[in-house]
Structure 1
Amino acid sequence: MDADLTLDLIEATVQIDQPVNDQKRMVGTGFLVSVPREGAAPEVVLVTAAHVFERMPQNEVRIGWRVKAANGTWQYSPTRIPIRTDAGPLWTQNPKQDIAVIAVQVPPSYKDKAIPLSWLADERSFDQWHVSPGDEMMTLGYPHGYSANTIGFPILRAGRLASYPVGPVSSFPTFLIDLTAIPGNSGGPVFMTEHTERAPGADAPKATLVSGILTKQVEVNAQRLELGLVTHAVFVRQTIEQLFVARGQAPGVKVGVTSSAAPPPVVVAPKKLSPREAAGAAAVGQTKSKP
């Protein structure tokens, strides 16, 4: 892979929100992945942190599509999608990691904006590209519900890989980056491109891959350590495979962890939210009800 992911991922990243009241809303981040299927057109799934959906109590969320008119002007055009019914969640959740995926119908202009599944790192990618502590990684999201502009494009931020070792993923499913995981960034993609900086003296090829998904800010005794917790993209692949297995289907390529079969799908029971969660807990984010 030698393409620069940055612009493609900006296009594929969307805001997920749900109103709390007339003044506030809960906000998270998600990104679109195109999954190949045997004998059928690719299917688009939305990837986010599972807690983003869990802490939004209503049955529908808004997805912040951005539409470009023929005259070149942009418009923020959110639509609602269901994420649960009275019977329970509609998303597929990883049994061990904070990752959720859900199939979505995207506007016509978004059919080519979902990133290919192949761009997600697999369990060999970090070794193949010699990913090391100090390497720069970037993320996209909506900190405290803010976007880069009124059209709803995500904000790009960067930090250094702060963990060692970062594999194997069976032993180290998450890693740290030196970046403040502000509420609202949860669910955003974490990625490297050929333009990101490597650790000084690193003898490594240029890497272009989605490394993982930002899932948590690190706190000790309610004090933020200015570190973000990232879950390996391998588990995004695994969760996508769960979605297809639950339907009795098979994706066009093997997408999960190759060393083991995909686990059965997880059914997440609806839970009663605490007042703090209902108001927008720190890992999701809350802002005034404007994009």
Structure 2
Amino acid sequence: MSANAMPIEHALVRSTVRLLAGPQGGAATSTGTGFFYQATHPTTNMAKVLIVTNKHVVKGADVVHFVLSSAPAVAALDGQHQPLGRKDQTIVWPLAGNLLSHPDPDIDLCGIDVTIPAGMLIQAGSQLRSMFINSSWLPQEADKVGIRDIEQVLVVGYPKGLWDDHNNMPIARTGTTATHPLAHYQGKKNFLVDVAAFSGSSGSPVFSYETPMYRTRDGSYTPGTKVQFVGIVWGVIEASTSGELKVVEIPSALTSVPVLNTSLNLAIALHAEIIKDLDELVFPGITRSAAH
């Protein structure tokens, strides 16, 4: 297959990475989803590459394991839509000195600086198949007025640790927002998504996804696909055996645990805007620089 312009869906599913976390030199104890995020300083253009996930995915771990796919030219695809000459490299990366945790204990978000391993593959002459999300994927101020209570969404990740390990690819699922994606659900920086979430879904990015028609700012519709980065999955709504509803973290442990509660198939996601706080951790003062 010849190299052609990649559809946006190719980029979305290539933004994520399956994470295994655990002790140095030992077996992994937890699993989750991460996605690549590039923070760029507005004045120096210095860039850092992070894998963004939930704090609870890496809690107590020393290292994370993930797979990077690369090829001489990632746009040159074979008959299975994989880059010709693709190579997969398993990275075991220390968290010490590379973990950036959101300072608010109520916000389950962190970034892992993977600039070095990603850069080493690029410097070796390879192209990374991974797509890096950046702040331009967030809804712009002019777009926010038109965002509706019910939006079609795409959630990409590794539910129950499920993935296509042969091709190093995630699982993509569609659903809708269950509360307004900009409103603070129960007064916190979260919203609900009508998509089932399981162990391994923690850290999954949520994209608004309109195709084959999308609504423009004036309310009319035009052919094409519109995608925006709107959230990061971290929890679920469950009903206990007594009927009490609770917001709980998605379990990340690799060991099986008995299921005593009933899932309502509602995931809870952080507002994607919070990711800008990680920019500030990477480049202190970046918020002030961007304002000028």
State the TM-score, normalized to the length of structure 2. 0.70
Change (3 A) 1:134 1:66: same
Match of 2:99 in 1: 90
Q: Which moved more, 1:15-24 or 1:150-159?
A: 15-24
Quote how far apart the aligned CAs of 1:212 are: 0.9
Kindly indicate whether residue 263 of structure 2 is the aligned counterpart of residue 224 of structure 1.
Answer: yes
Counterpart of 1:8? 11
Alpha-carbon distance, 1:193 to partner: 3.1
Counterpart AA for 1:228: A
**Alignment-derived partner of residue 254 in structure 2:** none
Q: Which runs of 5+ in 2 are unaligned?
A: 1-5, 74-82, 241-260
Determine which of 85, 89, 108 is the counterpart of 1:77: 89
Superposed CA offset, 1:28-64 (max 9, x none): 111111222222432212211111111xx33111122
- Name the counterpart of 1:275: none
Conservation of the 8 A alpha-carbon contact between 1:101 and 1:240: no
Kindly tell me the number of residue pairs found equivalent between the two proteins.
Answer: 241
1:204-260 deviation line (CA, Å, top 9, x unaligned): 667421001011122121211111101101111123323322xxx5379649xxxxx
Partner of 1:103: 113
| Distance in structure 2 (CA, Å) of the matches to 1:230 and 1:90 | 21
Name which structure has the greater RCO, CA cutoff 8 Å, separation 6+: 1
Q: 1:236 aligns with which of 275, 283, 288?
A: 275
Aligned to 1:45: 50
Is 1:212 matched with 2:253?
A: no
The answer for the alignment partner of 2:286 in structure 1 is 250
**1:110/1:170 CA distance change after superposition, 3 Å:** farther
Deviations 1:97-123 (A, max 9, x none): 11111221213233973123211346x
Query: Counterpart of 1:9 in 2: which secondary structure?
Result: helix
- SS of residue matched to 1:235: helix
Q: CA deviation at 1:194?
A: 3.7
| Unpaired stretches in structure 1, ≥5 consecutive residues | 256-291
Q: Distance in 2 between matches of 1:22 and 1:165?
A: 39
C-alpha separation in 2, matches of 1:126 and 1:212: 16
> 1:34 maps to which residue?
38
Q: Which moved further from structure 2: 137-146 or 21-30?
A: 21-30
Question: What TM-score results when the alignment is normalised by the length of structure 1?
Answer: 0.70
